[in-house]
């Protein structure tokens, strides 16, 4: 299983740039994408970032598969939720089409009452404005994810940590964030491994015992992850973590880094105007 945060060892122009300039690039673009309302410019940026990532990962496209699944799954949830549960519907600020009236939903046991509760008694409705808003949010999310992914693929975790430390972020907080990000794929992999072992031992995941079996799997996975975390803590202690280092890898800004920051400023300006 490919890790969700994995450095891609290659010799490219982006790999040679300073982590500080790449972090500034990602921060400026992410903020501009979040504040921008120009759909076409954000979409153009998304397409450009996609081609850039395909070029970076040429020969190792499997690295992008988990991110593609994440984007598709998140976009589907955002578009669906906003189409049927757009917040302006409940303020009567936008038009909508009623798919299932409240009187019909009251006849449906459990699920009908849940939908009525979530829609404040309006029933199951569809909003075209909600669909457009969901598309906008999904495009923004995808663009921000790909922007930060470029930085993660072209920068070693150690270089990111050193750059953040140079900017004044506490080293302990940096290490905690990096370990937490690394543990996301490890947790999924550990759970799937425990599930396969349980299946090989003859455990059946029927609906009648699903809660009990899942609880057992989660307990086993949690114990294994705690054991791994203890080993990691011992390794960090043996390496002298939290002790002042005797040497540092020098991080200097070059002409290419200034060009990247300037490019980020130009793109951010175009997104915001």
Question: What does the alpha-carbon distance between residue 262 and residue 44 come to, in Å, rounded to a whole number?
Answer: 19
The DSSP bridge pattern shows strands 97-100 and 124-126 to be antiparallel
* 64 or 252, higher pLDDT: 64
- Of 125-129, 197-201, 232-236, give the lowest mean pLDDT range: 232-236
pTM greater than the 0.75 cutoff: no
pLDDT band at 242 (very low <50, low <70, confident <90, very high): low
Average pLDDT over residues 162-173: 77
Torsion angle (degrees, nearest 10) of CA 104, 107, 113, 117: 30
Is the confidence at residue 176, as pLDDT, over 90? no
What number of residues does the chain have? 273
pLDDT in tens, 99-120: 888 888 888 888 888 888 877 7
How far apart CA 29 and CA 143 sit, in angstroms, is 9
Q: Give the integer Cα–Cα distance in Å for 68 and 75.
A: 10
- Cβ-Cβ contacts under 8 Å for 242 (sequence gap 6 or more): 171, 172
Neighbouring C-beta atoms of residue 264, cutoff 10 Å: 20
Question: Quick one: how many helices (H) and strands (E) in the chain?
Answer: 11, 2
Q: Which residue has the higher pLDDT, 241 or 46?
A: 46
pLDDT at 130 exceeding the cut of 80: yes
Q: Is the pLDDT of residue 54 over 80?
A: yes
- The pLDDT score that the predictor gives to residue 246 is 46
Angle at 70 between CA 33 and CA 75, to 5 degrees: 60
State both tokens at 55.
């070029």
């Amino acid at each position: 299983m490919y890790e969700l945060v994995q450095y891609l060892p290659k010799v490219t122009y982006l790999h040679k740039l300073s982590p500080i300039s790449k972090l500034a690039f990602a921060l400026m673009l992410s903020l501009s994408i979040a504040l921008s309302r120009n759909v076409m410019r954000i979409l153009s940026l998304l397409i450009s970032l996609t081609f850039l990532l395909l070029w970076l990962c040429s020969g190792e496209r499997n690295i992008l598969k988990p991110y593609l699944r994440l984007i598709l799954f998140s976009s589907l949830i955002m578009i669906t939720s906003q189409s049927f549960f757009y917040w302006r519907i409940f303020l009567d600020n936008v038009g909508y089409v009623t798919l299932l009236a409240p009187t019909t939903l009251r006849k449906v046991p459990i699920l009908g009452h849940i939908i009525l509760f979530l829609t404040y008694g309006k029933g199951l409705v569809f909003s075209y404005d909600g669909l457009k808003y969901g598309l906008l949010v999904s495009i923004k999310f995808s663009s921000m994810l790909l922007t930060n992914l470029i930085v993660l693929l072209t920068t070693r975790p150690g270089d990111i940590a050193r750059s953040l430390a140079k900017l004044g972020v506490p080293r302990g907080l940096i290490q905690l964030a990096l370990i937490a990000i690394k543990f996301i794929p490890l947790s999924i992999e550990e759970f799937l491994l425990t599930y396969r072992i349980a299946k090989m031992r003859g455990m059946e995941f029927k609906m009648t015992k699903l809660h009990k079996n899942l609880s057992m799997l989660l307990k086993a996975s949690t114990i294994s992850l705690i054991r791994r975390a203890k080993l990691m803590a011992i390794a960090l202690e043996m390496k002298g973590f939290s002790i002042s280092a005797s040497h540092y890898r020098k991080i200097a800004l070059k002409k290419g880094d200034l060009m990247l920051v300037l490019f980020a400023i130009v793109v951010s300006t175009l997104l915001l105007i």
